[in-house]
Chains A and B, each alone.
Chain A
Amino acid sequence: MAGTEPRDRPAAAVDYRTLVSEDRVHGSLYHHPAVFDDELEAIFTRGWVFVGHESEVPNPGDWVSRRLGREPVLLTRHRSGAVHVVANRCSHRGTALCWAARGTSNRFQCNYHAWTFDLDGTLVAVPYPAGFDRDKDDLGLDRPGQVESYRGFVFANLDGSAGPLATHLGEGGTGLIDRLCDLSPTGRIDVSRGWIGHKVSSNWKMWPESDNDGYHLNWVHASMVDATPDTYYNETVLGGETGNQSRAVDWGDGHVELDFRPSYTRALAWLGTTADRVPGYCQALEEARGPERAHRLLWDGPPHALVFPNLFLGEMNLAIIEPVSPTEMIHWHTAVQLEGVDDAFNTRLRRQSEAAMGPAAFIVPDDAVTAERIQGALAGARPAWADRGRGWLDVSRGARREQTGPGGERAALVSDETTNRGFWRQYRRVMSSRLTAPSPAGGAA
């Protein structure tokens, strides 16, 4: 929908083409209520959003609770085996159907008037049905217009107007997911060990940025490096501007990566171990993929990347970036577990996840406090300041030395802001096109 001109909706109140340019963004974008509202519409209602992973609902009746933007939804497994996404809200009078983070049920029954829904959202029973004139088939739970999955990663688009998921992900996005899943001997990952929520008093957009910023690590994470001097961070991201070979990559469409692969000097450096210490895993991967491919996978490790807008592939962690309000967000994470690998290996991944991610870990709390300091310092930045040269943030680093790779991706030094620019380029595109396009129903949004 890029390039769509305003038609049946007045120009957006906030001019995103002004507030976001190639090398700077305006601070008002991080806290203005109108911007947040526009984002819920343009990004979280009209675009593809990550919901969850099929491994979270392995058996019929399993469900997990999520938010698509602010919309509460349930990711469910139907008796047919199909995965569905339905609103966690009774279609009668709006009562939330489930309160827990996850559960298993044959049906969802509302406690208010006992309307009962199947796992796919179909209304199956209401008490005293003779009093209703409307067809039951028209009273199912709200469902996203589109739900598709790629290698078990379930995405939804509420409006149903976002085109195929494959187009949204592109080769860049699918390539990132492939690189994670291919580390499993079966090609499948499992993320059913539960999610930890980290509540941060910052705008959600600081997390697509911070999670994929290769410039901050020497300073924000200095204490982690000092306390754990042997981590692979030393060789992949530290050592000065040109002291390592890692790259900041923009794969297009907002999917961006800190590519550590060129810095690894041995297999399994990304896991902080060596092949002889995890022989079961190495053998299983070799049997599944052949020695040559397995060697490459063991060397390269998982991606460190954003799948626009809300999925962070944090090496052997997944994180979901959930907007709560203009100044609040939740950074959810879980450990990636590899199917077909011994439990000792997956236990190691769980312990590493606890060390890296979440409110008490060694890494992310320092990002969180930084985000909160930014949030506080931007509180006064008004959109109207933009043309007075006040309240601008610079994301220009390394723009002139970006190179275009064989897949059309842009890449520069890992400390360059190529990843941030990639996020903001997509943000600008969707915020300035989707808000002015007609809604799928034909009316103005």
Chain B
Amino acid sequence: MTGATPASTAAGPVCSAEVQREIEAFLYREARLADESRYTEWEALVTDDMHYWVPAGPAVGDPAETLSYINDNRARLATRIRQLGTGSRHAQTPASVMRRLLTNIEVLSVSDDGTTYGTTANFVLYELAAQSTQELRVWPGRVRHTLRRVDGELRMAAKVVELVTATLPQPNLAFLL
């Protein structure tokens, strides 16, 4: 959310209802593509400087200093998606069957030039580990996006996923969270 103005202390929204709807539509689309393991379409939503971060605790401090579950710069995210696309990523072969509920969506900030938005939402992801134990795994948490308008379209510049269970050992997390 670099360069963004914090939400006003007033009750008023930081963006128009139209932009709010556009952002919500983007987040729902992103969630649906991740649920359905449509990796290439999902990757088309990210900026060239995308940072994808899933910390092993609260999302505070500099991720460079510690160890995270996922701490992908754009190049590493490309590797992640390339690996998922090989067809032999056993940890996702077959892909997990997933559906996530995205709720409590708020646009918290907008940059001074009006191109970048900071959002927060809660989620619950239901995952069937179809490639291994056949068990239902439930992943609750909060997701924060930094969305930037590029050539008129919204793109993800950052996605930070704070799992409720972040401090506990996690089972395989080889899908797009």
Contact = CB atoms under 8 A, between A and B. Distances in A.
B86 A222 contact: yes
Interface in A384-439: none
B76 interface: yes
A226 B90 contact: no
Interface string A197-236: 1111100000000000000000010111011100000000
Contacts of A332: 169
Given A223-B90, A226-B86, A368-B91, A193 B66 contact: yes
A223 B86 contact: yes
A360 interface: yes
Contacts of A193: 65-67
A369 B91 contact: yes
A164 interface: no
Given A351-B71, A368-B91, A369-B132, A200 B171 contact: yes
Contacts of A376: 132-133
Given A354-B68, A360-B54, A199 B170 contact: yes
Contacts of B131: 369
A366 B79 contact: no
Contacts of B177: 360
Chain A interface category by residue count:
35 or more
B38 interface: no
Interface string B60-92: 000011111111000010011011101111110
B101 to A, nearest CB: 21
A360 B90 contact: no
A101 B54 contact: no
Contacts of B34: none
Contacts of B173: 359-360, 365
Contact of B89 (A350, A353, A366, A368): A366
Interface of B: 54, 56, 64-71, 76, 79-80, 82-84, 86-91, 131-133, 135, 167-174, 177
9 contacts: A194-B66, A196-B56, A226-B86, A226-B88, A354-B68, A359-B69, A365-B91, A369-B172, A369-B174
Please list the 6 inter-chain residue pairs (A to B) with the smallest Cβ-Cβ separation, ordered nearest first.
Answer: A197-B169, A365-B91, A227-B83, A372-B132, A199-B169, A223-B86
Given A226-B86, A354-B67, A354-B69, 12 more contacts: A194-B66, A196-B56, A198-B170, A199-B168, A200-B172, A226-B88, A227-B86, A330-B169, A332-B169, A347-B64, A351-B71, A365-B172
